[in-house]
Chains A and B, each alone.
Chain A
Amino acid sequence: MKIWKLDRLQDLFAALAGERTLYIPADVAGQAKFTPWEPGMEMTKALNTNRSAKDLFFPQVEDLAAFKITGRQIQVEDNREDVEDFVIFGVRACDARSFSILDKVFLEEPADTYYKNRRDHATVMTLACSRPEATCFCTALGIDPQAPGGDVSCWVEGENLYLQANTQKGEALLEKLPAMEEGEKPQGDASVFDRLPLKDVDFSVFSEKALLHWFNSPVWEELSRSCLGCGSCTFVCPTCQCYDVKDFDTGTKVKRFRCWDSCMYSDFTMMAHGTNRPTQKERFRQRFMHKLVYYPNNHDGEIGCVGCGRCLRKCPISMNIVKVAKALKEGSV
């Protein structure tokens, strides 16, 4: 394990940013956000970014192609952006796990080349948690916030940052950095994780019963009743992956782009069928069924949630996956 002095953190950033873009969680306009590092830019004090780290692989808006019409000729242009190597520093364990969840969707054949391109060029440096929020429940989903994974795992302990490469990519990255002292990370105090109020939410039940049991549960009606149908939960969620493909006529050409979509929206997948999910109950159910039942059914029981707690803080009416999971298990609200 390599050691870097925390008071020289800026030097580490400078070294990482030397050859490629480095993203760190920094405060921008009052919000913690993964931001291209510039000299002097400090890391946020917030536990995690406001939006998740998926933005860097699956941006909210992305150009796919353009069609230029001259007279009666149509010319197709591939206008995807060139992606160069980049590093993300400070990814928490939850977000790091979300990458593997997204990978299973986007990298399965046929692979989403836009997503793949970004994944291939990225090196992920994670950061272990020591001061979780009360809304954190990654441990309930089998994630160890103190073993965050990624290409390089990092820990802050005392005055030092400890770095450990987990992959070849990670090793290659560390090799390029100035020589570092080797050493063992002292054992920190992890007792706080045992005090997390949501650590015992039971997500295992969803694989125990048939899909339709959950689908037909009577609780959906009441749970969804006050849902506003906004997309804040989906848009801050690290594992939500739905998008819409849209065309924009610029007057001289048509630009085709994709942008995030939300199953909570009334017009979600309306392009395919007129009467998809007519009320908020069906839309609401879709979102949670997807995370708790459909995704695990398709991916060896892995829940499509990483317990980052963002939706718990962001939902305007404080409805969230924890409340849903508990209610479903109990069979009543």
Chain B
Amino acid sequence: MQRIGVFVCWCGSNIAATVDVKQVAEALGKEPGVVFSTDYQYMCSQSGQEMIQEAIREHRLTGVVICSCSPRMHEATFRKTCQKAGLNPYMVEIANIREQCSWIHKDKITATEKAVILGRAAIAKVHLNAPLTAGTSPVVKRALVIGGGIAGIQTALDIADAGFPVDIVEKKPTIGGKMTQIDKTFPTLDCAACILTPKMVDAAQNENIDIISYAQVEKVQGFVGNFSVTIRKKARYVDETKCTGCGLCTEKCPQKKIPNEFNLGLDNRRAIYIPFAQATPKVATIDPNYCTMLKTGKCGVCSKVCTAGAINYKQEDEIITREYGAIVVATGFEPISMEPFDEFAYSQSPDVVTSLELERLMNAAGPTGGTLLRPSDGAHPHTLVFVQCVGSRCDGAQKGKSYCSKICCMYTAKHAMLIREKYPDTEVYVFYIDVRTPGKNFDEFYRRAVEEYGVHYIKGMVGKVTPQDGKLKVQASDLLGGRQMHIDADMVVLAAAIEPDKSARPLATMLTASMDTNDFFTEAHPKLRPVESPTAGIFLSGACQGPKDIPETVAQAGAAASKVIGLLSKNSLTCNPCTAKPDELMCNGCSSCEKVCPYGAITYVDKPFRGPNRTTLTRRVAQVNPAVCQGCGACTVACPSGAMDLQGFSNKQILAEVDAICR
């Protein structure tokens, strides 16, 4: 029989206001096996923890039940507390009477009754707990960063600086990501390329960093400290080791009319191309969808002009499999498609552009050489209308996103300001729902746009944009002025909402990292563990976790890196001791468990057993590798004889909880 101690936490008034904690402690004190029961204001506080430890010693407790907040919050805390007092940490169970009781119920009697039942279930479980000892597994001291944008680059640089090898997998031919397409950055207005390209070069030159560009993750196996990742490096038909990046081929290629994705299709590139001047690695890539040689076997111009002999039409995809201790997701974002927003005439007029397209139109390396010209006729625009929140903050999210894309207010202010500065003869209108400028020097920046640069900020939405007679007729409402507005604009700029990169969803499945309904990666805790995924060993960097600007991205990238460094600096990790365990005497050796194990943790051996009447029987029985088992329990249900059980969540423990709840 266990000697169980029950500790009921008030959590200040968080629990105590709706749950009669005294009554709970008293009721649970009467349960069989409970030898001590008390309540306290903050169990997680220093004095609360000391109280638990004292009770363990004084009452020789063999099990502890803490009625408090969610085990996701403080289970680890209390386990440590008890361990220090000499109790096995797995003899502790938490009854969640805050998140799952006091916070969701208003009636004190109901909430108190429920708290008692939850406490009873925890006591019933503790009765069947057994001390568990965690094993260890080694850590592979190499990290993988998926995505080579500013988030990925920064994370990789920080990890590499700490002395750990790190690979960046980038699906495009070059690293750099979205930031390479941006002209200036807010609120300082320094040039994006000027601050990004040195980092790209650093990454390329850092001996601890291996950039695997034009590649995608195909398969992820293993677990924290021991991931095995299969990467498909797509054939670029150019030998990276030989190509000097001279660019001759990209000038001679006869296939000229291919929309240049770097400039968002505002100009063209060749079938063999280097995305932009500072591309890293600076290596040409052949686009197999357009290359005549690859499609018909006739051409070969690039091969002829390449003095380095780098062109290889026979190149094949390369499959790389490497072991990693940690994985950082930095897959970033992309603007949403403007297709559903027909009212803004995006598909009808080339002069309706997205903000990112405007970045290219204002960039010295862009299609217009940095002069702002109307895409339709190359004329200088005089009236520009910016539409905010296109696809952001949509009700019901029928065609947009329900969330705020966060960065649009600031970059629109930046665009408006830059245009007014460079072309004082322009009129710039910004239609907004709200202007959101939380951030250092952000509001000042926005006010400068309004006050110094005379940008017309109008609260209201644009109803319709109609191309007519070379102009864009903009119909809008001015909510503060209470009037309808008609503006003849030369260009309309849409602040498109941003969404996670499309590659994130399948990646999340491979990584078993969870996502929210918008396909942003979920963090382990929104406040306390913002750069970790709930899956151990998977970390989050940048906009894959939620919309954010460059400084925030860089900050998070650094934070993710520091978490990775913390992990990689350990030689071994403590394993989860709540692993599956077969009862060999009952095991049929039928292989059902093995078939459902996602980790390959189960193997079989032929073992001799004592049979009846002094005979020996050799039977095939399952063996679980506790370092590999992650404790999901799939095998326990697949096992028909019930030979396989899960430590810490055993059949009997769960049945006892069921019984306690239903009684």
Consider the complex of A and B and state whether they touch directly, i.e. have CB atoms less than 8 Å apart.
yes
Give A contacts to B, CB under 8 Å.
69, 71-72, 249-252, 275, 278-279
> Chain A residues with Cβ under 8 A from B613's Cβ?
278-279
Known: A71-B30, A251-B663. 10 other contacts (CB 8 A): A72-B32, A249-B659, A250-B663, A251-B659, A251-B660, A251-B662, A252-B663, A278-B612, A279-B612, A279-B613
Instruction: Determine the distance from Cα of A251 to Cα of B662 in the docked complex, in whole angstroms.
Output: 8
Q: Is B32 a contact partner of A69 (Cβ separation < 8 A)?
A: yes
Q: How far is the CA of A278 from the CA of B663 in the complex (A)?
A: 39
Binding site for A on B (CB under 8 A): 30, 32, 612-613, 659-660, 662-663
A252 to B662, CA, bound (A): 11
Collect the chain B residues with CB atoms within 8 Å of residue A275's CB: 612
Q: Main SS of chain A's interface residues?
A: loop
Query: Please, which residues of chain B bring their CB within 8 A of the CB of A278?
Result: 612-613
Please indicate the chain B residues that have their CB under 8 angstroms from the CB of A72 in the complex.
32
CA distance A310 to B388 in the complex (A): 87
- Closest chain B residue, CB of each to CB of A278: B612
Q: How far is the CA of A275 from the CA of B663 in the complex (A)?
A: 37
* Min CB–CB distance A282 → chain B (angstroms): 8
Instruction: Give the docked Cα–Cα distance between A330 and B612 (Å).
Output: 28
Q: Which A residues are in CB contact (< 8 Å) with B32?
A: 69, 72
Q: How far is the CB of B4 from chain A (nearest CB, A)?
A: 14
Q: What's the nearest-Cβ distance from chain A to residue B653, in Å?
A: 15
CA distance A279 to B615 in the complex (A): 11
A275 to B662, CA, bound (A): 37
A254 CB to closest chain B CB, in angstroms? 12
Query: Taking the nearest CB of chain B, how far is it from the CB of A74, in angstroms?
Result: 10
Q: Could you list some 15 contacts between A and B, CB below 8 A?
A: A69-B32, A71-B30, A72-B32, A249-B659, A250-B663, A251-B659, A251-B660, A251-B662, A251-B663, A252-B663, A275-B612, A278-B612, A278-B613, A279-B612, A279-B613
List of A residues within 8 angstroms of B662 by Cβ? 251
Q: Which of A69, A249, A251, A279 has the most CB of B within 10 A?
A: A251
Set of chain A residues within 8 Å of B660, measured between Cβ atoms: 251
Main secondary structure of the interface of B (DSSP, over half): helix
B contact residues around A71 at 8 Å (CB): 30
- CB < 8 Å A-B pair total: 15
Shortest Cβ distance from residue A276 to the other chain B in the assembled complex, whole angstroms: 11
Q: Please measure, in the bound complex, the distance between the C-alpha atom of A222 and the C-alpha atom of B659, giving whole angstroms.
A: 46
Cα separation A228 to B95 with both chains bound (whole Å): 47
Rounded to whole angstroms, the CA-CA distance of A316 and B663 in the bound complex is: 40
A-B pairs with lowest CB-CB distance, top 4:
A251-B663, A278-B612, A279-B612, A71-B30
CB distance from A283 to the nearest CB of B (A): 11
How near does chain B come to A263, taking the closest CB pair, in angstroms?
16
Which residue of B is nearest A70, CB measured? Answer: B30
Q: Shortest beta-carbon distance, B37 to chain A, in Å?
A: 13
A295 and B659 alpha carbons, distance in the complex (Å)? 44
**A279 — which chain B residues lie within 8 A by C-beta?**
612-613
Smallest Cβ distance from A98 to chain B, in angstroms? 33
Assembly CA distance A72 to B30 (angstroms): 8
Q: Nearest Cβ in chain A — how far from B655, in angstroms? A: 11
Note all chain B residues with C-beta closer than 8 A to A252.
663
Chain A residues lying within 8 Å of B659, measured Cβ to Cβ, are 249, 251
Tell me, in angstroms, the Cα distance from A279 to B614 when the chains sit together.
12
Of listed A69, A72, A252, A278, residue having the most chain B CB within 10 A = A278
Cα distance A249–B656 in the bound complex, in angstroms:
11
User: Within the complex, what minimum Cβ distance (angstroms) separates A60 from chain B?
Assistant: 25
Query: Cα distance A249–B659 when bound, in Å?
Result: 9
Closest to B661 in A: A251
Q: How far is the CA of A72 from the CA of B31 in the complex (A)?
A: 8
Q: In the complex, what residues of B have CB within 8 A of residue A69's CB? A: 32
Residues of B within 8 A of A251 (CB): 659-660, 662-663
Smallest CB–CB gap between B610 and chain A, Å? 10
How far apart are the CA atoms of A278 and B612 in the complex, in Å?
Answer: 5
- The docked-state distance in angstroms from the alpha carbon of A249 to that of B127 is 15
Q: How far is the CA of A318 from the CA of B215 in the complex (A)?
A: 69
By beta carbon, the residue of chain B nearest A277 is: B612
Closest A residue by C-beta to B30: A71
B125 to chain A, nearest CB (A): 15
B559 to A: closest C-beta gap in Å: 49
A252: nearest residue on chain B (CB-CB)? B663
- A71's nearest neighbour on chain B, judged by CB, is B30
What A residues does B30 contact at CB under 8 A? 71
Q: How distant is A148 from chain B, measured CB to nearest CB, in Å?
A: 44
Inter-chain contacts of A249 with B (CB < 8 A): 659
CB distance from B346 to the nearest CB of A (A): 65
Docked CA distance A198–B659 (Å): 53
Closest chain B residue to A279 by CB distance? B612
Q: Which of B30, B612, B613 has the most CB of A within 10 A?
A: B612
Bound form: Cα–Cα A249–B662 in Å = 13
- Chain A residue, CB-CB nearest to B659: A251
Closest to A249 in B: B659
Cβ–Cβ < 8 Å partners of B612 in chain A:
275, 278-279
State the CA gap A252–B659 with chains docked (Å).
Answer: 10
Closest A residue to B612 by CB, please name it.
A278
Nearest chain B CB to A136 CB, angstrom units: 37
**Cα distance A69–B663 when bound, in Å?**
14
Question: Within the complex, what minimum Cβ distance (angstroms) separates A78 from chain B?
Answer: 23
Q: How far is the CB of A274 from chain B (nearest CB, A)?
A: 12
Shortest Cβ distance from A251 into B: residue: B663
**How far apart are the CA atoms of A250 and B662 in the complex, in Å?**
10
Q: Chain B nearest CB: distance from A23 CB in Å?
A: 37
In the complex, what residue of chain A is closest to B613 when comparing beta carbons? A278
Nearest CB in chain A: distance from B326 CB, A:
47
Once bound together, how far apart are the Cα atoms of A275 and B614, in whole Å? 11
**Bound: A250/B663 CA distance, A:** 8
**Given the complex of chains A and B, what is the CA–CA distance between A110 and B613 in angstroms?**
36
Nearest chain A residue, comparing its CB with the CB of B120: A251
Interchain CA distance A278-B611 in the complex, whole Å: 9
By a CB distance below 8 angstroms, the chain A residues around B663 are 250-252
The answer for the CA separation of A249 and B663 in the assembled complex, in Å, is: 10
**Nearest-CB residue, chain B, relative to A69:** B32
Q: In the assembled complex, how far is the CB of residue B23 from the closest CB belonging to chain A, in whole angstroms?
A: 15
Residue of A with least CB distance to B660:
A251
CB distance from B25 to the nearest CB of A (A): 15
State A69–B660 Cα separation when bound (angstroms): 15
Taken together as a complex, chains A and B put the C-alpha atoms of A90 and B613 apart, in Å, by 47
Distance between Cα atoms of A69 and B612 in the complex (Å) = 41
Which residue of the partner chain A has the closest CB to B124? A251
How close is B394's CB to chain A, nearest CB, in angstroms? 51
B250 CB to nearest A CB, Å: 77
Cα distance A250–B613 when bound, in Å? 39
Min C-beta distance of A280 to chain B, whole Å: 9
Complex CA–CA separation, A71 to B612 (angstroms): 45
Closest to B663 in A: A251
- Complex CA gap A321/B45 in Å reads 74
Say how far A154's CB is from chain B's closest CB, in angstroms: 50
A252 to B32, CA, bound (A): 12
CA distance A72 to B663 in the complex (A): 18
Within the complex, the shortest CB–CB distance from B31 to chain A, in Å, comes to 9
- Cα–Cα, bound, A72→B35 (Å): 11
A243 nearest CB across to chain B (Å): 25
CB distance from A286 to the nearest CB of B (A): 14
CA distance A266 to B32 in the complex (A): 34
Within the complex, the shortest CB–CB distance from A325 to chain B, in Å, comes to: 26
Query: Given the complex of chains A and B, what is the CA–CA distance between A251 and B32 in angstroms?
Result: 12
**C-alpha gap A259/B285 in the complex (Å):** 80
CA of A251 to CA of B659, assembled, Å: 7
Output the least CB separation between A144 and chain B (Å): 44
Q: How far is the CB of B661 from chain A (nearest CB, A)?
A: 10
Interchain nearest-CB distance for B621 vs A (Å): 19
CB of B458, distance to nearest CB on chain A (Å): 67
Q: Give complex CA distance A251, B612 in Å.
A: 38
Minimum CB–CB distance from B304 to chain A (whole Å) comes to 82
B390 to A: closest C-beta gap in Å: 59
A247 → B minimal CB distance (Å): 14
Distance from B252 Cβ to chain A, minimum over Cβ atoms (Å): 84
Q: How far is B150's CA from A141's CA once the two chains are assembled, in angstroms?
A: 96
Q: How far is the CB of B421 from chain A (nearest CB, A)?
A: 77
